Structure 1
Amino acid sequence: MSGYDEPLKELKKRREFALAMGKPEMLERMKNEGLLNARERLDYILDKDTFVEVGQLALGAREEHRHRTPADGKVGGFGKIDGRMVGIVSNDFATMGASSALNNLKKMKYVKDQGSKRGFPLLFVGSSSGSRMPDRMGAPGRLIIAQDQAEYRRLRQSPWGVAQLGSCYGSSTWYACMADYVVMRKGATMAVASSRVTSLAINQPVTDEDLGGWRMHTRTSGLVDEAFDTDEECLDALKQFLSYMPSHSNETPPITKVPKGSDDPVEGIMDIVPGDRKKVYNMKHVIEVLADKGSVFETKPSWGKSVITALGRLNGQVVGFLGSNPLHKGGAADPDGCAKATGFLVLCDSFNIPIVMLVDVPGFLIGVEGERKAAPGKIINWMNAISLTTVPKLTVVLRKSYGQAYINMGGNKNSDVFAMWPTADVGFMDPETGVNVVFGIRKEDDPEEFERCVAQLAEDAAPWEVAVMFEAQDIIDPRETRKFLINMLEVQQLRMTNGVGEHLMSTWPTSIV
């Protein structure tokens, strides 16, 4: 061992320094509050004994920071989740707020590059105070940023997931906005800059919650999919999301066994959907009946609620369910709902997930507020996305499908398979509204003539003529819907490319809001 003793002793010392992480008092406070530290998060989410760390001995670039920057505040490397390789970076907020700096950004770049080049998902978890200010001040500080032209370029070669578990500013916010799925612990904050910096900049007080709390991001901005009470629940959600994803864009998602009893609930589907088109119901319950038992994983459930998006399985195969939801705004898609649908189409197409559209839509929610929120632009973004989607698209119209929304929800040539229930009603607008617009007749002026015209328009909107002209592949008994979708999903497999689509939207923005 001559000649090795001192170097090995030094290596042991440096490793122990890195493993100890940042300020002991901050780590103790996190423990007392029931929060996981950076390394405990890795232990929790990764398969046991699979983590391979890189950059463990990295320190801050500035000499005066090296004694207090173990692993430079970001623990990064590779491990396995359910036996599949992932790349992961866990921020150690106890080390200078896990601030982004020259050396730890090199580490993040390495992990990110390997995921993209070698084909495995990437996870970013924890919290960050933003840029490390001493590294960034003045002209020299500006020169160290933007050295990696691809740092914020997302080509969707592999899925990304983010868990925001504390104060998240700067790069931790940027990575969340680039991710495919984002969760947040309740009490965490996500924003461009802290409330203190923001208050100084705008010269008015602002709270962390108002600036970027979980309620705002899950209900208003739509940047976060869902919020949970604990770190563990957030990490569990990331694992569940990855279970629906392929490791990379050139393969299909994993196929699982079909749980027993998956075919049973469909017999009661007509109890969920009222025959009267004016009565509301929750489309999620329809999806849960059609999908394999226990497989439905909703995304952004609290945002754009007139549209529902969920991952699920049909006969063991992952599909993306896109449905209008009459329980909210009658199912009329508002600007947030349009953006939600667009983002979901991009996600599914990027990762070879067939799309099932369940339609009961009266049109788009129009009005002054919608126009102010750029409704026309968001409608056409959705239209563009569905036109560019190359994975199989299967559409079933349950009740109504009116106006431009008929096209956006898979009508005409925007589906590979188009089917209707006998209760389907397809037209430019609701028959009662149509009578007023087309014939200028109001119910209160001539009730008898009004009802006669409504009946005529309703007859014209019935599904039978659509089937006669073979503009629909079939009209199906509602109880046949699950079997029909499973059969047609098999027909529509992309056999020539082993299930891989063309990915025409791989460069679309990840935050389509």
Structure 2
Amino acid sequence: MEKVINELLEKRENAKFGGGKEKIARLHEEGFYSARERINMLVDPDSFLELGMLAHSDQVGSENKSAGDGIIVGLAKVDGRPAVVQAIDKTVFGGTAGIIHARKTESIHAFALKRGLPIFHLTEGGGLRMPDGMGSDGISQMLFPEELLLHRREVPMITGILGDSFGDPAWVAVSSDFATQRKGVSMAVVGPRILEVATGEKAAVEDLGGWKLHANTTGQIDHFGETEEECIQEMKRFFSYMPLNATEEPPFKATEDDPFRRLDEVVDIVPTRRAQVYDMKKLIKIIVDDGQYLEIKPTFGAALITVLARINGRVVGIIANQPMKYAGSAGPQECEKATEFICLCDSHHIPLIFLHDNPGFRVSRDAEKYKMPTKILIWNQALAQSTVPKISIVIRKSIGAAFANMCGPTMGADFVVAWPGAEINFTGPDVGINVVYGRKIEQSANPEEERAELLKSWGFDSSPYKAAAKYLLEDIIDPRDTRKFLAQTLEYACTKKGSKSERRLANWPTQF
């Protein structure tokens, strides 16, 4: 027995070094951590239970140089909560996916869904491995796993792109609820070498899928970090707002921050003059518990803010216009960002709060090229189908169709209220006059006088009192009572079954 135990221990010790100590040393020289070091950064001390440690490639001759077949999988505690963890090991065939690698991934994913455990991916690598995927038999075993395609957000998936990631790691990232990317590495379908061989096109790895591309253009990544430590810490922060699985609500977090705290600071933060800009993030900070929130996609569609936060201990998702960018008007990117965030929150039982301050949608020829009507309507469709509690507050203005997209009346909100100085209308009076009477003004002997007279007759009441009088709004609230109002209404809206939704949006494609 001693002999066989020692043999086992020797095999396990060798497996710890993946493709060898030299390759790990090379990773360190290049400024990267090994897969096991990344796992140790993520999980609670001594909590990792590894599965498949002694697996290896089934390719003849590769048995002794493919420990784990390029991926480490197991179970662990992350901040005291159970989870499944996967980490690609770049020291084994560059982190590419062979048949045994794929088998381990599919097995642990199935277990996570079966037992309701969230999944963490610490990833990099070159996608499908050759020769495992070659031939009709190879590719038939290596197609995209059905489990991932039918995931339906049953458990949260959280991914860190910590090294160059092509193929499989990219599929995982864009299928996840949250993905972070280390600056300086790339995520794309293929790497520069395959691109050049296949098409003749030469491209730098950063141009193919660097952080700036995803931050400002594609929106496929939610956060970017300078270091691996920062990225992993952000994965844990996101997890702190998530339920373990679809049967649970997100975790409450006790706070000493008074839910009825009066927001006297709003007087200085939000100007009444509608043309004057302010930072909506400052308002969010004073509304939420302890001033803490996690922003999703901060530079993509920057005229719209999406954050996870807590109010009186309960997790909430906040969608807010940002007057500092395009006056808060939403374009194609903002529409995509809003829809994706609504799907995230509805799938994981997170109530939604909308803070309006927008002059309408941002229209242009470029916006039309990016299917602006479609993107506006998809946002509306997602909102209409969502069933989590929703509370909507018009802070300063909400104009035109954007009033609906920000969960105005008829869009399923539990409560729609406004601050007393808010403006709600189809369009601003100046714009309306120019559209309807533009030619008449141009042909007038005194255009400015003509415009002024028309404005007097164009005296539609855009103040919220008119809508409140007809009970189209539930109330006009004192801005200083905004936190109190949200704390109270959230409690009542979540009385029947907590924040649990019907999860109608769980089946919407990620990155639609």
TM-score range, shorter chain: over 0.9
* C-alpha distance in 1 between matches for 2:143 and 2:503: 27
Contact (CA 8 Å) 1:266, 1:479: kept in 2 or not? yes
Amino acid at match of 2:101: N
1:335-354 deviations in whole A, cap 9, x for unaligned?
01000000000000000000
* C-alpha distance in 2 between matches for 1:180 and 1:245: 10
* C-alpha distance in 2 between matches for 1:325 and 1:367: 19
1:136-169 deviations in whole A, cap 9, x for unaligned?
1122222212384323322111111100011101
* C-alpha distance in 2 between matches for 1:446 and 1:229: 56
1:22-45 deviations in whole A, cap 9, x for unaligned?
232331122234432101111111
Contact (CA 8 Å) 2:441, 2:450: kept in 1 or not? no
* C-alpha distance in 2 between matches for 1:150 and 1:213: 28
**Structure-2 residue corresponding to 1:429:** 427
**Structure-2 residue corresponding to 1:382:** 379
Alignment equivalent of 2:360, drawn from 355, 358, 363: 363
Amino acid at match of 1:505: L
**Following TM superposition, by how much is the alpha carbon of 1:455 offset from its aligned partner in structure 2, in angstroms?**
5.3
Alignment equivalent of 1:301, drawn from 298, 302, 306: 298
Q: Kindly tell me: are residues 452 and 354 of structure 1, through their superposed partners in 2, closer, same or farther at Cα, counting changes over 3 Å?
A: farther
Q: TM-score, normalised by structure 2?
A: 0.96
Secondary structure (helix, strand or coil) at the match of 1:419 reads strand
* C-alpha distance in 1 between matches for 2:24 and 2:459: 66
**Structure-1 residue corresponding to 2:126:** 129
Contact (CA 8 Å) 1:188, 1:214: kept in 2 or not? yes
* C-alpha distance in 1 between matches for 2:3 and 2:56: 21
* C-alpha distance in 1 between matches for 2:484 and 2:227: 39
Q: Kindly tell me: are residues 263 and 136 of structure 1, through their superposed partners in 2, closer, same or farther at Cα, counting changes over 3 Å?
A: same
Secondary structure (helix, strand or coil) at the match of 2:127 reads coil
* C-alpha distance in 2 between matches for 1:148 and 1:417: 42
**Structure-1 residue corresponding to 2:485:** 484
**Structure-2 residue corresponding to 1:504:** 504
**Following TM superposition, by how much is the alpha carbon of 1:439 offset from its aligned partner in structure 2, in angstroms?**
3.4
**Structure-1 residue corresponding to 2:43:** 46
**Following TM superposition, by how much is the alpha carbon of 1:119 offset from its aligned partner in structure 2, in angstroms?**
1.1
* C-alpha distance in 2 between matches for 1:296 and 1:457: 42
Contact (CA 8 Å) 2:389, 2:499: kept in 1 or not? no
**Following TM superposition, by how much is the alpha carbon of 1:263 offset from its aligned partner in structure 2, in angstroms?**
6.5
Alignment equivalent of 1:69, drawn from 45, 66, 69: 66
**Following TM superposition, by how much is the alpha carbon of 1:227 offset from its aligned partner in structure 2, in angstroms?**
0.9
Contact (CA 8 Å) 2:259, 2:484: kept in 1 or not? no
> Is 1:187 matched up with 2:184?
yes
* C-alpha distance in 2 between matches for 1:301 and 1:457: 39
**Structure-1 residue corresponding to 2:330:** 333
**Structure-1 residue corresponding to 2:12:** 15
1:240-255 aligned within 5 A: 240-255=237-252
How many aligned positions are there? 508
* C-alpha distance in 2 between matches for 1:340 and 1:148: 27
1:74-103 deviations in whole A, cap 9, x for unaligned?
010010111110101011111111111111
* C-alpha distance in 1 between matches for 2:384 and 2:135: 47
1:203-218 aligned within 5 A: 203-218=200-215
Q: Kindly tell me: are residues 314 and 457 of structure 1, through their superposed partners in 2, closer, same or farther at Cα, counting changes over 3 Å?
A: farther
**Structure-1 residue corresponding to 2:152:** 155
Contact (CA 8 Å) 1:262, 1:293: kept in 2 or not? no
Secondary structure (helix, strand or coil) at the match of 1:158 reads coil
> Is 1:95 matched up with 2:92?
yes
Q: Which moved more, 1:343-352 or 1:91-100?
A: 91-100
> Is 1:26 matched up with 2:26?
no
Instruction: For structure 1, list consecutive stretches of 5 or more residues without a partner in the other structure.
Output: none
Secondary structure (helix, strand or coil) at the match of 2:146 reads coil
* C-alpha distance in 1 between matches for 2:360 and 2:417: 19
* C-alpha distance in 2 between matches for 1:107 and 1:138: 22
* C-alpha distance in 1 between matches for 2:263 and 2:459: 28
Q: TM-score, normalised by structure 1?
A: 0.95
1:233-264 deviations in whole A, cap 9, x for unaligned?
00000000000011111111111122447866
* C-alpha distance in 2 between matches for 1:423 and 1:457: 19
Secondary structure (helix, strand or coil) at the match of 2:149 reads coil
> Is 1:475 matched up with 2:476?
yes
* C-alpha distance in 2 between matches for 1:259 and 1:76: 39
Contact (CA 8 Å) 1:27, 1:37: kept in 2 or not? yes
Q: Which moved more, 1:10-19 or 1:483-492?
A: 10-19
* C-alpha distance in 2 between matches for 1:339 and 1:316: 29
* C-alpha distance in 2 between matches for 1:101 and 1:442: 71
**Structure-2 residue corresponding to 1:230:** 227
Identical-pair percentage: 35
Amino acid at match of 2:503: H
**Structure-2 residue corresponding to 1:286:** 283
Contact (CA 8 Å) 1:244, 1:311: kept in 2 or not? yes
Q: Which moved more, 1:440-449 or 1:297-306?
A: 440-449
**Structure-2 residue corresponding to 1:174:** 171
Q: Kindly tell me: are residues 176 and 12 of structure 1, through their superposed partners in 2, closer, same or farther at Cα, counting changes over 3 Å?
A: same
* C-alpha distance in 2 between matches for 1:79 and 1:455: 68
Amino acid at match of 1:143: S
Contact (CA 8 Å) 1:425, 1:458: kept in 2 or not? no
Alignment equivalent of 1:272, drawn from 263, 269, 274: 269
**Following TM superposition, by how much is the alpha carbon of 1:283 offset from its aligned partner in structure 2, in angstroms?**
1.4
**Structure-2 residue corresponding to 1:346:** 343
Contact (CA 8 Å) 2:109, 2:147: kept in 1 or not? no
Alignment equivalent of 2:408, drawn from 393, 396, 411: 411
* C-alpha distance in 2 between matches for 1:37 and 1:262: 44
**Following TM superposition, by how much is the alpha carbon of 1:13 offset from its aligned partner in structure 2, in angstroms?**
2.2
